A and B are shown apart, each in its own frame.
Chain A
């Protein structure tokens, strides 16, 4: 810990010890129990959280749980013991949070869930959840694909991990969007497990099955990584991704912007890594004028097209 960050932390702790209400201090202290750093998106989420904390003058304590729930629970309990002003959790699994959340509630510490929901019998245990609307993401990219193909397209779909909520919801949203257009249909659909290699393999088999890819109008991947894998498979089959077979996906990672700038992909809907920003805003509002935040704070989903891809890529690169 640098001396710089020690001083405000000590200030807040000292105030807490004397029993003064925490929000009277200039800085709030927030504990963030993060899942880990398994993907570029996750690392970006952590990085944005740090930046937003600095902007909002919040002392942020981050704990990386290394993908283990027990570590996350320990971190949350330790935040409660430290008497932080708010706790953010990006839950690694959906279940098993009741008792630790009850502890935070007993200590009157508001809890915000970031990026993922939990299953609980008592939703009052957490203050609010900041997540994206994954159904909407699927819907947006479906509408966009209809627009660029004149409502006529034979689509192959690369699904995310079977049974995972983003895979289910993105499929649902996309299905809703294309249902309005009878000439748009998903002809093949299989799971590529949210990975590049998975996306590539499945796409290779789709290309073989569909007249060497000539019968495929577009591929819809549930995330960018699989989309990038599909681009590779299309290239290796001697076709041009983005023109011969259109590529659309969801997440908005830098590599996808790069692919769009190179003309190899046609669109992506960004899943904002800024989950902490809205949570900081809600927490500060709650602490200063007791505004109860909405239970579900939706982060914006934005569609990006090749037109702005290069600029977006340059803007995003330092985050990842």
Chain B
């Protein structure tokens, strides 16, 4: 049990230590405002990372999420601005389209036994390409709902504002934790990632679970797209490029094994916060190149992967990870 929890503890310790170091260096850092900003700024990343956690837990990968976010934003902008669809109807349409897209990828992966890497890579190009088919412009969304959302934030002491999109993200993380650790589907995902053959022998419906996993991931990417459109108030085809890689990094830093079977949704959430923390540190400093964000995340990733290898080796000697 301790071996399973160790990566999570290391992740949490990294975040706490980082936050303390930042607060010591910048007097304005230790405020509810910076913390709620961290939640708001990384809301879309947090949501999509929850979906990615399930995919990676099952031993797969989903490279299409960034493009699905962009596609959702563009679709929403067109539906709301050009076709005057009420925003909530547009949200439902966007989520359904994203969900179906994920289901199709899941079905391809299962039925034709294709590697998820290739299928979702194709999905990534397809979704990004479809954005440009819809429009090459960046379309502002002027619906009153979008302007109002900004006003509906819960004020916290110290100028902190818990925004709607931050609340959505926290709810998704909570729901993800329940699904992963308290439902049959969650158990199946872990079993599939642990060992596909024995999962099948134990009676896990592999096909149904695989399709459900990719549907969940794409639907959450669609939700992240809705949140992203709240965040920028516009739909642009170039939005969220490279987010799939940031997401995978967050999941791995959060303590999930890339080979599947081990990991937690909460760890992913902390992984997202760590990335946000590094970015915030660099803007607070103001003299460092922002590319240091990537370097720091790269170094962290490397450290966590090495740690995972060591843990797996140790566990292998002891017999099992449990």
The chain A residues found within 8 Å of chain B, CB to CB, are 1-2, 5, 9-10, 13-14, 16-17, 31, 59-66, 68-71, 73-75, 77-79, 81-83, 93-99, 102-103, 119-121
Task: Give the distance in Å from the alpha carbon of A70 to the alpha carbon of B37 in the complex.
Answer: 13
What are some 5 contacts across the A-B interface (CB < 8 A)? A61-B285, A77-B41, A78-B34, A96-B138, A96-B233
Task: Give the distance in Å from the alpha carbon of A99 to the alpha carbon of B233 in the complex.
Answer: 7
Within 8 A of A (CB), among B186-222: none
Q: Is B109 an interface residue (CB 8 A)?
A: no
Tell me whether A95 and B233 are in contact (CB under 8 A): yes
Which residue, of B147, B287, B288, has the highest number of chain A Cβ atoms within 10 A? Answer: B287
Tell me whether A68 and B241 are in contact (CB under 8 A): yes
Contact A77 to B40, CB < 8 A, known contacts A65-B290, A95-B236:
yes
Tell me whether B234 and A73 are in contact (CB under 8 A): no
Q: Which of B27, B239, B287 contacts A13 (CB 8 A)?
A: B27
Tell me whether B285 and A1 are in contact (CB under 8 A): yes
Q: Is B240 an interface residue (CB 8 A)?
A: yes
Task: Give the distance in Å from the alpha carbon of A73 to the alpha carbon of B227 in the complex.
Answer: 14
Tell me whether A70 and B231 are in contact (CB under 8 A): yes
Contact A102 to B150, CB < 8 A, known contacts A1-B285, A17-B27, A74-B41:
yes
Instruction: Name the B residues within 8 Å of A78 (CB-CB).
Output: 34, 37, 279-280, 283-284
Tell me whether B28 and A64 are in contact (CB under 8 A): no
Interface 0/1 of B42-54, CB less than 8 Å to A: 0010000000000
**Chain A, residue nearest B232 (CB):** A96
Tell me whether B28 and A17 are in contact (CB under 8 A): yes
Contact A93 to B287, CB < 8 A, known contacts A68-B241, A81-B31, A99-B150:
no
Task: Give the distance in Å from the alpha carbon of A63 to the alpha carbon of B291 in the complex.
Answer: 10
Interface 0/1 of B223-265, CB less than 8 Å to A: 0000010111110101111100000000000000000000000
Contact A74 to B236, CB < 8 A, known contacts A13-B27, A66-B291:
no
- Other A-B pairs, 11, CB within 8 Å; known A73-B231, A82-B284, A93-B236: A1-B286, A1-B288, A59-B286, A68-B241, A70-B231, A70-B239, A78-B283, A95-B233, A95-B234, A97-B233, A98-B147
- A-B pairs with beta carbons under 8 A, tally: 113
Give how many B residues have a beta carbon under 8 Å from the other chain's beta carbons.
Answer: 41
Instruction: Name the B residues within 8 Å of A61 (CB-CB).
Output: 283-287
Task: Give the distance in Å from the alpha carbon of A120 to the alpha carbon of B291 in the complex.
Answer: 30
Task: Give the distance in Å from the alpha carbon of A2 to the alpha carbon of B288 in the complex.
Answer: 10
Task: Give the distance in Å from the alpha carbon of A287 to the alpha carbon of B146 in the complex.
Answer: 32
Instruction: Name the B residues within 8 Å of A68 (CB-CB).
Output: 241-242
Q: Is B139 an interface residue (CB 8 A)?
A: yes
Tell me whether B283 and A63 are in contact (CB under 8 A): yes
Tell me whether A1 and B287 are in contact (CB under 8 A): yes
**Chain A, residue nearest B147 (CB):** A98
Question: Closest approach, in angstroms, between the C-beta of A117 and any C-beta of chain B?
Answer: 13
Which 5 pairs across A and B sit closest by C-beta, in order of nearness? Answer: A61-B286, A96-B234, A96-B232, A95-B234, A95-B140
Question: Closest approach, in angstroms, between the C-beta of A132 and any C-beta of chain B?
Answer: 22
Instruction: Name the B residues within 8 Å of A119 (CB-CB).
Output: 140
Task: Give the distance in Å from the alpha carbon of A9 to the alpha carbon of B44 in the complex.
Answer: 32
Question: Closest approach, in angstroms, between the C-beta of A276 and any C-beta of chain B?
Answer: 14
Task: Give the distance in Å from the alpha carbon of A151 to the alpha carbon of B1 in the complex.
Answer: 86
Which residue, of B44, B234, B241, B279, has the highest number of chain A Cβ atoms within 10 A? Answer: B234
Task: Give the distance in Å from the alpha carbon of A60 to the alpha carbon of B283 in the complex.
Answer: 11
Q: Is B26 an interface residue (CB 8 A)?
A: yes
Instruction: Name the B residues within 8 Å of A5 (CB-CB).
Output: 287
Question: Closest approach, in angstroms, between the C-beta of A232 and any C-beta of chain B?
Answer: 30
Instruction: Name the A residues within 8 Å of B233 (CB-CB).
Output: 95-99
Q: Is B142 an interface residue (CB 8 A)?
A: yes
Question: Closest approach, in angstroms, between the C-beta of B38 and any C-beta of chain A?
Answer: 9
Task: Give the distance in Å from the alpha carbon of A1 to the alpha carbon of B282 in the complex.
Answer: 10
Task: Give the distance in Å from the alpha carbon of A119 to the alpha carbon of B283 in the complex.
Answer: 25
Instruction: Name the A residues within 8 Å of B238 (CB-CB).
Output: 93
Contact A69 to B283, CB < 8 A, known contacts A81-B37, A93-B238, A99-B150:
no
Which residue, of B26, B231, B280, B284, has the highest number of chain A Cβ atoms within 10 A? Answer: B284
Instruction: Name the A residues within 8 Å of B239 (CB-CB).
Output: 69-70
Q: Is B110 an interface residue (CB 8 A)?
A: no
Q: Is B289 an interface residue (CB 8 A)?
A: yes
Instruction: Name the A residues within 8 Å of B236 (CB-CB).
Output: 69, 93, 95-96
Instruction: Name the A residues within 8 Å of B4 (CB-CB).
Output: none
Contact A73 to B31, CB < 8 A, known contacts A61-B286, A63-B283, A99-B150:
no
Instruction: Name the B residues within 8 Å of A74 (CB-CB).
Output: 41, 279-280, 283
Tell me whether B27 and A14 are in contact (CB under 8 A): yes
Tell me whether B140 and A96 are in contact (CB under 8 A): yes
Task: Give the distance in Å from the alpha carbon of A83 to the alpha carbon of B159 in the complex.
Answer: 11
Tell me whether A75 and B283 are in contact (CB under 8 A): yes
Instruction: Name the B residues within 8 Å of A59 (CB-CB).
Output: 286
Question: Closest approach, in angstroms, between the C-beta of A26 and any C-beta of chain B?
Answer: 18
Tell me whether A62 and B231 are in contact (CB under 8 A): no
Question: Closest approach, in angstroms, between the C-beta of B49 and any C-beta of chain A?
Answer: 15
Question: Closest approach, in angstroms, between the C-beta of A81 and any C-beta of chain B?
Answer: 5
**Chain B, residue nearest A92 (CB):** B238
Tell me whether A83 and B291 are in contact (CB under 8 A): no
Tell me whether A93 and B138 are in contact (CB under 8 A): yes
Contact A64 to B232, CB < 8 A, known contacts A17-B27, A70-B239, A119-B140:
no
Within 8 A of A (CB), among B271-322: 279-280, 282-291
Task: Give the distance in Å from the alpha carbon of A137 to the alpha carbon of B239 in the complex.
Answer: 31
Instruction: Name the A residues within 8 Å of B291 (CB-CB).
Output: 64, 66
Tell me whether A83 and B28 are in contact (CB under 8 A): yes
**Chain B, residue nearest A102 (CB):** B150
Tell me whether A95 and B279 are in contact (CB under 8 A): no
Instruction: Name the B residues within 8 Å of A69 (CB-CB).
Output: 232, 236, 239
